[in-house]
């Protein structure tokens, strides 16, 4: 498809929500590789991870609440091995660790602090993106995009998944996470 827009067949989506398949696929691939390819030797991989997470969230914002659904029934995706993903992330980012955050970042009336696990959070993100990628390859573009918007919306707004929002904040702004440089200095 090259750099053509892949939503041109989806007339129900407004023009400002279109995303390029190549860009979207590249972001997903970039993030997935941290959990599927051990001991990557990529320059500036910490900065690349941070930028990829920002790009992923930008793609979500383009789609938020404006995604058609595919009503067809498809086979369930394979069960991607969480432990294998987690171990691969450890081989690429041995310095990922625990971080302290508030338990419900959207309700700060009386915040409780909790301990987050950056490796576990990144593993959750990658496992979800692996299913998105599988859907692109095995179901339909509409189904894959719907699923991406669904998981991002749920991981960004529910208290059970709020730790992933905190994880992204930790990765992007913390000197403790992944070295001494933050993205916004």
What does each C-alpha distance from 70 to 10, 45, 67, 144, 147 come to in angstroms? Answer: 11, 35, 10, 9, 10
| CB-based contact 121:89 (threshold 8 Å) | no
What pLDDT score does 154 carry? 77
What pLDDT score does 31 carry? 94
Overall pTM > 0.85 = no
Q: How far apart are CA 16 and CA 7, in angstroms?
A: 11
What pLDDT score does 172 carry? 59
What pLDDT score does 173 carry? 56
What pLDDT score does 85 carry? 97
Give the CA dihedral 20, 23, 26, 28, nearest 10 degrees. Answer: -70
Name beta bridge partners: 20. Answer: 5
What pLDDT score does 179 carry? 53
What pLDDT score does 98 carry? 83
Helices (H) and strands (E) in the chain, counts: 6, 2
pLDDT-flagged residues of the chain (< 70): 1-21, 103-108, 155-185
Q: Tell the burial category of 103 from Cβ atoms under 10 Å away from its Cβ (0-12, 13-18, 19+).
A: middle
């Amino acid at each position: 498809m090259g750099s053509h827009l892949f939503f041109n067949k989806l007339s129900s989506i407004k023009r400002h929500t279109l995303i390029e398949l190549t860009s979207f696929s590249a972001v997903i691939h970039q993030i997935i590789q941290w959990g599927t390819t051990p001991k990557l030797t990529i320059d500036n991989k910490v900065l690349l991870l941070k930028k990829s997470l920002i790009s992923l969230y930008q793609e979500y914002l383009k789609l938020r609440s404006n995604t058609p659904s595919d009503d067809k029934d498809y086979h369930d995706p394979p069960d991607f091995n969480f432990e294998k993903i987690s171990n691969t992330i450890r081989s690429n980012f041995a310095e990922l660790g625990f971080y302290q955050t508030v338990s419900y970042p959207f309700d700060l009336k009386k915040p409780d602090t909790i301990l987050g696990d950056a490796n576990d959070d990144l593993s959750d993100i990658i496992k979800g993106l692996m299913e998105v990628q599988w859907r692109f390859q095995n179901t339909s573009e509409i189904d894959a995009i719907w699923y991406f918007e669904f998981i991002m919306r749920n991981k960004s707004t529910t208290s059970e998944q709020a730790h992933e929002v905190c994880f992204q904040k930790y990765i992007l702004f913390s000197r403790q996470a992944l070295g001494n440089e933050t993205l916004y200095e």
